[in-house]
Structure formats: structure tokens, C-alpha cells
Amino acid sequence: MGIFSGYSGLRVIAEGLTGNKGWKPVWRDPAPKDSYDAIIIGGGGHGLATAFYLAKNHGMTNIAVLEKGYLGSGNIGRNTTIVRANYFLPGNSEFYSHSLKLWEGLEAELNYNVMHSQRGIINLFHSDGQRDAAARRGNAMVNQGDDAVLLDRPRLRRMLPYLDFDNARFPVMGGLYHARGGTARHDAVAWGYARGADMRGVDLIQNCEVTGIDIHAGRVTGVQTTRGPIRAGKVGMVTAGRSGQTAAMAGMRLPVESHVLQAFVTEGLKPAIDHVVTFGMGHFYISQSDKGGLVFGGDIDMYASYAQRGNLPAVEHVMEAGMALMPMIGRARVLRSWGGIMDMTPDGSPIIDKTPIEGLFVDCGWNYGGFKAVPASGWCMAHLMATGESHEVARRFRLNRFETGHLLDEEGTGSQHNLH
């Protein structure tokens, strides 16, 4: 392969000087076939990862991913790019630990640069009670085999000198440091999985909206789409904030609510924030992108919606939290904001499970944790669809836990969707 072919710095320069006319599509654009062994509804990160691992791990290649828009047009391209494994509860802890290990080998696995940057995550605490909670979480992380260091105030001040340590209401007392956490390029993750799945024979079908799910005698037989009916013996619903609507086509009501979550980015600045930093006294998190923009977000907008846009009170809340934590960002100009649709479960943890309809599977309820979960979600959903059994790290993500009361309330805020 020559220096001006494939992907290289010289190729980028050459294409820039010639109008970028030499790039070729990285995956096929096939027409849908009449039938497949399995169909994945949803061409986001989780759906594409599921298809990739079905092909790679289980040898299933007669698969179609159906996306109503273009690949990566949903939440995978609308998040704040954070990757971490700092969970506390058994069930969540081993799952996200598994996901982080997959992240660490993902670029080699896909032969694709997803810009995974293990710059470290620091969760700040502002009271004795929060310090004790951070210590418990850190111990749980270490027991799981992940990394955690409790930072006292002097050490934290050396690492993050720009914080308002002496804020009268929210003094910064320390932080829980997760060095293996960080960020990745969200859309590149979708592209990498898409290319990998396509190379293994998976059909990635864009502009193909599913309008119905066909069921006969309690078993799924295929789907209806805007491009005609497609038969399949197995169907996976992986549609994030649209999960409730997708399941309704099969006559199901999922225990999820869809809420808007906004994110923001500023103008490009010189390097200032080396880590991902979270505010313990307000839902606020921030990092700096490779292009220099400060990327940050906060709470959901607190009302159910399917609209990918937010409201001004939530914007005000996020800006206030940011200014309370680090007043230095006050002069940075916000360039743009966007909204994603979060599928919130009552306990704040996801669902990867079979449904009462034979051959129909669901992967949903990711709340705030969807992006960091992409590799393990795809891995476990593929295992479930191929074998009919839950993967060992996802066995607590059962649909019936809301009936039995075996909830995974990671934040300890009760079984109410909007509190997670």
C-alpha cells in the first residue's frame, strides 16, 4: 500500500489539495434481502457492536442492521465521549470493568483509530459524607480489579489548580481518581464497528425505518420496514431512546421513560483541562476535546420527550454548576449544544434480555451510561442472541428484576426514572 493510499497523514494532505474526491466508502450500501438469520434494529454504537460481535465471536454473518437514518445519527453521535469503569454495585461493576478492557484493545481489534484517550477521571467530593462514599466506591473498584486512588486536597490542588477550592458553599475536599478512564471519539466508534461488521459480511442498511414487528404463535418472524418486509428468526431491539416505541410494535410496554439530555461545547482553547472532571455537588462533568473545545453536560431536562432538543432552564443549571466549580470557564464562548434521548429505567441500570416473545431480544435502558458501555453491550447482546443465554457479566440486567425487586440502584436515589 502506497503512502497516498489507505489512511495516513500524507493521504489527508493530498485529498485536501484535490477537493477530497478520492475517498471511497468504507462500507457497502446494500439493498435489503428478503430474509436474514438475525436483524438488529438500530444502527448506533450498541447495534453496530452487536452485529460485529455476532459475526466475529459467533460466526453469524447473515445479519442486517436496520437504521432509519444514517449510521451513527442517534445518541452515539450526541454524547460527551466519556469512558469509565467506576461503578459500585455488583452487577454493574463487572460489566463496566469488562467494557473498559474491551475499550483498551478496541483500536487493535477494529484496526481503526477511535481516539481512545485514557486521560483519567476525577470525581470530586465536597463533604465528609461524600468522601466516605468515594472511599467505598474506590474500594469496590479495586476489588473488581480496576484502579482507584483517593486524592486528598493538597494533591488534588496540584493536579487541578483551576478549581474554586474555597467556594463557600461547595469547598473542594478531594477526589476519586480513576486513571484508566477517559474519552473516545464517539462517531469514530460507530464508524469502526460499522466497517468491521461490513468486512465480515453484515448488511448495514440505512434509511430503512422499521414500522412493525411480525409475530406468529408467540414467535418473531420478521419486521416491516419502509423498504418492504424482511423475514428473520431473531430480532434484536437496540434503539436507545426509541426503545419504548420499538417495543410497542411488538405489543410490549418496557419499564423505560425517554428524557432529553443536553451537551455543550465551547470554542477551541489552549490545553487547560487534562482530565475528565465531575462536580460532586451538582450534576456537571467536563473535559477538553482534542480540538480544544470544552465539552460538558449535566442533568437530564426532567421531562419525558422524544425530541432531540432541550430547554433553557437545563442550560442555565449546567452553566451555573460549571461556574461554581471552575469560574475560569466564564469567558469561554459556547459554540453549540445538542440533545440526545435517554432511555431511563426505574433503577438507573440497563436491560439486556430475552423478551416473552421467542426470538425477540432487547438492549436498552442505558440512562447516562450508554457510550462507555458500547463494547460490552454489543458483546453481551451478541452472546444472548447467539446462544439464548445471558453473558456472565450481564446476568443482573434482566427484564424481570422490576417484578422481583432485585433492582440495581447505582445512585441510591430510588426507583424513579427521572432521578437517574
> What average pLDDT does the chain have?
95
Q: Residue 327 carries which DSSP code?
A: G
pLDDT for 221 equals 98
pLDDT for 315 equals 95
pLDDT for 5 equals 53
3 state SS of 351: strand
Residue type, 143: N
Report how far Cα 393 is from the mean position of its chain's Cα atoms.
17
Phi, psi of 75 (to 5 degrees): -65, -25
* Beta partners for residue 286, in sequence order: 277, 296
All three cell numbers of 1, joined, read 500500500
3 state SS of 336: strand
d(CA 343, CA 74): 12
d(CA 273, CA 267): 14
Mention every residue, 6+ apart, whose C-beta is less than 8 A from residue 384: 352, 353, 354, 361, 390, 391, 394
Query: Are 28 and 200 within 8 A, CB to CB?
Result: no
pLDDT in tens, 61-118: 999 999 999 999 989 988 999 999 999 999 999 999 999 999 999 999 999 999 999 9
Query: Are 225 and 211 within 8 A, CB to CB?
Result: yes
d(CA 261, CA 303): 10
Mention every residue, 6+ apart, whose C-beta is less than 8 A from residue 13: none
CATH number belonging to domain 98-183+257-344: 3.30.9.10
* Beta partners for residue 232, in sequence order: 36
Which parts of the chain register pLDDT below 70? 1-6
Exposure string for 199-220, b = 16+ CB within 10 A, e = fewer: bbebbbbbebebeebbbeeeeb
d(CA 376, CA 46): 9
d(CA 1, CA 136): 52
Nearest in space to 328 (alpha carbons), one of 275, 264, 272: 272
Q: Render 214-275 in DSSP notation, one character per residue.
A: EEETTEEEEEEETT--EEEEEEEE--GGGHHHHHHTTT---S-EEEEEEEEEEEE-SS---S
Helix (H) or strand (E) holding 63: strand 63-66
pLDDT for 288 equals 97
Query: Are 28 and 71 within 8 A, CB to CB?
Result: no
pLDDT for 414 equals 83
Domain boundaries, the chain: 27-79+186-255+347-419, 98-183+257-344
pLDDT for 420 equals 82
All three cell numbers of 39, joined, read 436483524
Residue type, 405: G
3 state SS of 295: strand
pLDDT in tens, 333-355: 999 999 999 999 999 999 999 99
pLDDT for 1 equals 43
Angle at 52 between CA 49 and CA 56, to 5 degrees: 135
Helix residue ranges, H only, 83-185: 92-104, 106-110, 128-144, 153-159
Q: Residue 333 carries which DSSP code?
A: P
Helix (H) or strand (E) holding 341: strand 334-344
Other beta carbons less than 10 A from residue 58's beta carbon = 15
Strands 35-41 vs 230-237: parallel, antiparallel or unpaired: parallel
Q: What is the pTM of this model?
A: 0.95
At the topology level of CATH, where does 27-79+186-255+347-419 sit? FAD/NAD(P)-binding domain (3.50.50)
